[in-house]
Amino acid sequence: MVSARSAVCLALVVLVAALAEARIDKVKLNHDDRSVILVAEPFGFNENGVIEMEISKATVFLPEGSPQADKTRIGVVLVTDDADAEVMRPSTDSGCLLDEENARVLYTLEEVENNRAKDGIFYYRNSITEGSGGIYSLFFANCVEDSDVTLSMATSLYNALPGGGKDYLSAGKKLLPGVYMFMFICSLAMLGVWGSLLSKRRNHVQRIHFLMLVLIIFKALTLLSQYGMNHYIQKTGDPEGWNIAYYVFTFLRGLMFFTVIILLGTGYSYFKPFLSDNEKKLLMVVIPLQVLANIAIIIMDEDSPADRDWFTWRDIFHLLDIICCCAVLFPIVWSIKRLREAATTDGKAARNMQKLALFKQFYIMVVAYVYFTRIIVYLLQATLPYQYTWLGDAAGEVATLAFYLTTGIKFQPAQHNPYLSLEEAEMAEL
C-alpha cells in the first residue's frame, strides 16, 4: 500500500493547468511595460478558424526626452502551441518576439494608427489558412525599450460553421456540452438510486448518508451549469449568466466533497460518532482552503490572462487544490492506525481487521482518484491531438462518477455493512 507521504509527494509532482473555455475576451492595458503578454487562452482552430480583433485608445509612453517610439516594434503575434512555452519562458537575451521565426505577426501599432475607422477603432479580421489548423496563442509584444502601453482590445476567436454560424469553443472542446449533459443525466440516475436506497433502508441510514445525498445533488447541478456555460459560449461566445451558477455550485460541491471524504475517512457516524481535535482542525483548514480555491477559480475565469496577477491566481488555485486533495488522506491514515492498534488490544481482532481492510481499500481509492484527475487527465489533454482534448475532460468526469459509485457501494446503509456493525459494548466504550 502506498504510504501517506508517498501519496502527498506524488500529488505534488504535477500542477494541473486548468484552461478556461474560449470566449470573447476583452483586455485593457494601462501603462503596461511587459515585453510579452498573453492576450487570449490557447485556442484550437480548424482550417476555417477566424480571428477578429478591435483595438482602441492605443498609446505608447516613453521617458521624457526620448525619441518617438517605433510603433512597428509593437504589435500582436500568433504563436503555435509548440512554441508557446518558449515564448513565456524568461529569457536573458534581448530578442524580440516580432522577429521570431515561429511567430506570425498579425499587425503592429503603426498599422493600428494608420487604419483606424471613423469611430477611432482599428478592426482586424483574419482566417486560418487551409492546412494550418492547430492550437494557437495570441501575444502582445512590445519591443521598444523603456516604454509602456495603454490600450483596449477585444478578441474574438472562433471556427466558422458551414451554414454561416460561429463555434466559439476551441476545436477540441466542441463536444463538451454533450459530455456534460450526458454526465448530468448519469448523476440524476445516481441521485435517484441513492435516494431510493435511503428510503428503503431508513433503519440503517446514518447522518453521513444524507450528506452524501446532498453532495450528489450539488454535483448534478455543477454538471448542468457546465453544460449551460459551454453551450452558450459555443453559440455566442458568452456564458450568459451560467458561469455564476457554475461558481456557486462548484463552491458548494467542493465543500461537500472534501467534508464527506474527511468524515468517511475518520469513521464518523460509523464506528465513532464524534470527531477528535485533530480531525476538527483538519476540517477547519480544508474548508477555508476550498473557499480560497473557489475565489481563485472565479478570478481566473472572469479576468483575462493578460492581467498581471492572472498567472499568480492560477498557481494559487493549483496549489490549494493539491493541498486539499492531500489533506483528505490523513484522516484515513489515522483511522487505519487506530484500527490496527485496536485489533491487537480489544479482543475484537476479526472485526477490526475487516474494517482495516476496507479502510485500506478506501485509502487506495482516494489516492487513485487524486492521481487520475490531477495528473492523468492533464497528461491526456497535453498529449491528445488538439481535436480530441475533450476526451481528457470526459475521462475526469467518468473517473469522478466511478469514485462516487464505488464510495456509495462501500458505505451504503445496510444491516451487514462492516462499517455499520456496532455493538452496545463498543458504543459504551466510545
pLDDT for residue 348: 56
Total count of domains within the chain = 2
Expressed in angstroms, the distance from the first to the final Cα of the chain is 29
Cα(71)–Cα(59) distance, rounded to whole angstroms?
10
Alpha helix locations (H) across 165-206? 176-200
pLDDT value, residue 90: 45
Nearest to 106 by CA among 40, 175, 201: 40
Q: Considering 136, 167, 198, which residue would you say is the last residue of a domain?
A: 167
Q: What per-residue confidence (pLDDT) applies to 373?
A: 86
Domain around 322: 4-18+170-429
pLDDT of residue 13: 30
Low-confidence ranges of the chain (pLDDT < 70): 1-23, 82-94, 130-131, 268-276, 279, 298-299, 301-302, 339, 342-356, 415-430
**CA gap 328, 342 in Å, rounded:** 22
Q: Which residues pair with 157 in a beta bridge?
A: 51
DSSP 1-61: ---HHHHHHHHTS-----PPPP--EEEEEEEE--SEEEEEEEEEE-TTEEEEEEEEEEEEE
Do 38 and 126 reside in the same domain of the chain?
yes
**What CATH code is carried by the domain that includes residue 381?**
1.20.1070
* 29 bridge partner residues: 151
Q: Are residues 104 and 235 in the same domain?
A: no
Residue carrying C-alpha cell 536573458: 92
- Cα–Cα nearest to 109, from 66, 83, 81, 147: 147
**Among candidate residues 167, 202, 233, the one where a domain is terminated:** 167
CA distance 246 to 255: 14
Three-state SS for 403? helix
CATH code, domain with 100: 2.60.120
Domain end (from 167, 195, 214)? 167
In a shared domain, residues 277 and 131 = no
Runs of H (alpha helix) within 12-131: 81-88, 109-114
CB 192 within 8 A of CB 217: no
Nearest-Å Rg of the Cα atoms of the chain is 26
Contact of 193 with 186, CB cutoff 8 Å: no
At residue 182, the pLDDT reads 97
